[in-house]
Amino acid sequence: MVNKLNAQISLENFSSNLYLQMSAWAEIKGLDGSAAFLRKQAKEELDHMHRLFKYVYETGALPAIGETKAPPTEFKSISDLFQQVLDHEKLVTGKINKLMDSALKENDHSSVDFLQWYVSEQHEEEHTIQQVLDKIRIIGESGSGVYFIDRAIGEMLRKH
């Protein structure tokens, strides 16, 4: 179980780097709302990593961050970028579900309780990113569409 939790620590670390790197792409394109949104996501992912890190040492085991691959730096468009966010969140949800399966199988009630927070968090995050993608689809990326999409994403950030 410790090894699996440590792998999740590395994944959350990667998620944070990925969203921070994506925020730079948005920043360079002048998409301030999206950049701020992604920076906040990056901070949240770091918090997810720290939560796991603390949990592992509280159980008396040694947390290990492990290697993290470099995130991509280029994206085709704003829809490509947020689609990749959603795909990544789905991957994370799958990993959390697998961790939960292991905890249940091992009768590790403490980990089941701990992981429940991540299950809810993933549900929330997938929903939020789906809302972003819905806005992109409705507004459309042609002409000044990207400007209005970015404004809408900035607006979502203020409400969350």
| Residues found near ligand OFO in the complex (CB under 6 A) | 12, 15, 45, 48, 89, 92, 118, 121-122, 125
Q: Which is nearer to ligand OFO, 118 or 146 (CB)?
A: 118
Token pair, residue 29, equals: 């394109």
* 79 CB-contact burial (10 Å; exposed 0-12 / middle 13-18 / buried 19+): middle
Q: Is 48 annotated as a binding residue?
A: yes
Q: Any idea which residue has 């040492």 for tokens?
A: 57
Q: CA-CA distance, 12 to 80, in Å (whole number)?
A: 21
The structure tokens listed for 31 are 């998409």
Distance of closest approach, residue 104 Cβ to ligand OFO, in angstroms: 18
Q: Which residue is nearest to ligand OFO (CB)?
A: 48
In terms of CB distance, is 15 or 34 closer to ligand OFO?
A: 15
Beta carbon nearer to ligand OFO, 121 or 150: 121
74 labeled part of a ligand binding site = no
- Rounded Cα distance between 96 and 36, Å, is 26
CB atoms within 10 A of CB 67: 7
SS3 for 71?
Answer: coil
45 annotated as ligand-binding: yes
Kindly state the smallest distance separating residue 147's Cβ from ligand OFO, in Å.
Answer: 27
Is 89 flagged in the annotation as binding? yes
122 is known to lie in a ligand binding site: yes
Asked whether the beta carbons of 96 and 118 are under 8 A apart, the reply is yes
Q: In the complex, what is the shortest distance from the CB of residue 160 to ligand OFO, in angstroms, rounded to a whole number?
A: 13
Q: Least distance (Å) from ligand OFO to the CB of residue 142?
A: 30
